A = this chain, B = another copy of it.
Amino acid sequence: MQDVYAVIMAGGSGTRFWPLSRRVWPKQFLSLAEQNESLLQATVRRIRGLVPSERILVVTSERHSGATRQQLPDLPPENVLAEPTARNTAPCVAWAAAHVSARNPNAVMMVLPADPHIGDEAAYRELLTLASKAAADGGLVTIGVTPTRPETGYGYIEAGAELGDGVTKVQRFVEKPDAARAQEFVKDKRFLWNSGMFFFRADKVLEEYQRQLPDLHAFAIGYREQASASVAQSYVLARYAELTSISIDHGIMEKAQDVRVVRGSFGWYDIGSWTTAWELAPKDADGNAILAEASLVDSKNCYVRANAGKLVALIGVEDLVVVDTEDALLIMPRERAQDVRRVVDDLTKRDAKKYL
C-alpha cells in the first residue's frame, strides 16, 4: 500500500465543554467518555498500526502546541503544526498538504478530527484502510456513517452511483436538517452522516485548492519552498491571519470534481456537548452517569463530574448536568447543553478571564 499520512485536526477552542474545557485546555485534551486517555490520544492510538508516528501530523493552535506535544510524546515534535490564529479547517489542511507533498506528492492523507468517539474500533480501522485505498487513484474520499437516529446536529451526505469496492459517488453534501428532513433521511439509504473524515492524495487536494481557493494554494506552495524550518515558521506567522477562513467541507469537498464516499457503522459520535458525554458514559440503573464520588438520593438521568476528593450530593433532581472543577461549577438541564456558550459569552463580556 501507498504511503499514508494522518492529519489530525485539533484546533478546538473548547466553549461547549466549559468549565472542564478552557482556553488553555480545550476539549481534545479531555477524557470525556473514556477515563484514562484524552480524545486526542484516543484518536492517535486508534490509527497506530495503520500509520507510523513519523507520518502522523497534528494541526493545533500555537497556544495548545505544547500540551499537544506532551500528550503525544511518540510523535516527532515537528509533526505538530502550530497555527498562529484559527482560520477554520481549509488552511490547516492546505498547510498539512504542503508538508506531506514535500515528502511524497502522491502520498494519501487521511484527515481526521481529533475528537470523535468511536465505538467499534476494528470496523473503524477497516474503513480507514478502505477509504485510503479508494483515494489512491486520485479521488477525494469521505467516510459516511449509516444513520441510526434522526439526528439534527450533524451534516449529511447524499450518496449517488456505486463505483464498486464499497465506494459510492457523492451526489451532494447536505447541511444539518430540521427534524422532519432528519426523519426522512434516516429511512432513506442514500443519506449518510458526514463524519468530517477525508482522504485524498496530497497532489490531488492541492489541485483542488488551486482551482477553488487559490490563496491557500499559493500559501501551501510557498511554504514548501522555504529553505529551513525556522524560515518556514516565519513565513506562516506572516501570512496565516490573512488566509481565507473556511472549512474544508465548504471550501473544497462540496465543489470538488471527483468526490466519493465509503460508508460504514462503527459507533461514531461527534462529542459535541455535555449531552453527548452523558449519552456515551456508562450509567447506573437510574440513568446517572457519575464520574465523581457521589451520594444520590431520588435522582435520575444526571451527568455528574468532579475532581477526585470532591463529593457531589444530589437530592431529588433529574436530567441535570453537573460539572465541577476547582474554580468553576456548571449546573443545567441536559437539554440546555447548547447554551453553555451563553455562560462563556457572559464571562467574556465581564472580562472574567480566569474562568475562561
Contact = CB atoms under 8 A, between A and B. Distances in A.
Interface of A: 18-19, 295, 297-298, 306, 309-317, 320, 322, 324, 327-333, 335-336, 339-340, 342-343, 346-347, 350, 352, 355
Contacts of A298: 336, 339
A333 B355 contact: no
B310 A339 contact: no
A313 B336 contact: no
A342 B316 CA distance: 11
Given A295-B346, A343-B295, A327 B310 contact: yes
12 contacts: A18-B313, A295-B343, A295-B346, A295-B350, A297-B339, A310-B327, A312-B328, A313-B328, A315-B333, A316-B339, A317-B331, A317-B333
Nearest to A316: B336
Contact of A297 (B297, B306, B343): B343
A238 B314 CA distance: 42
B312 A329 contact: yes
A343 B331 contact: no
A331 B343 CA distance: 19
A356 B248 CA distance: 54
Given A311-B347, A315-B340, A329-B329, 5 more contacts: A298-B339, A309-B327, A312-B329, A313-B343, A315-B333
B311 A328 contact: yes
Contacts of A306: 329
B329 A342 contact: no
Contact of A295 (B297, B317, B347): B347
A352 B311 contact: yes
Nearest to A323: B313
Nearest to A321: B315
Contact of A310 (B295, B313, B329, B346): B329
A314 B297 contact: no
Nearest to A350: B295
A302 to B, nearest CB: 9
A198 B335 CA distance: 53
Given A322-B331, A331-B331, A342 B312 contact: no
Q: Which of A329, A335, A355 has the most CB of B within 10 A?
A: A329
A144 to B, nearest CB: 34
A23 to B, nearest CB: 15
A312 B347 CA distance: 11
B316 A355 contact: no
Given A295-B346, A295-B347, A331-B320, A339 B315 contact: yes
A317 B321 CA distance: 11
A315 B295 contact: no
A324 B314 CA distance: 12
Contacts of A311: 19, 327-329, 347, 352, 355
Nearest to A335: B316
Contacts of A315: 330-333, 336, 339-340, 342-343
Contacts of A330: 313, 315
Q: Which of A309, A314, A315, A340 has the most CB of B within 10 A?
A: A315
B297 A342 contact: yes
Q: What 6 A-B pairs are tightest by C-beta distance, nearest first?
A: A315-B332, A316-B336, A313-B343, A311-B328, A295-B346, A313-B330
Nearest to A306: B329
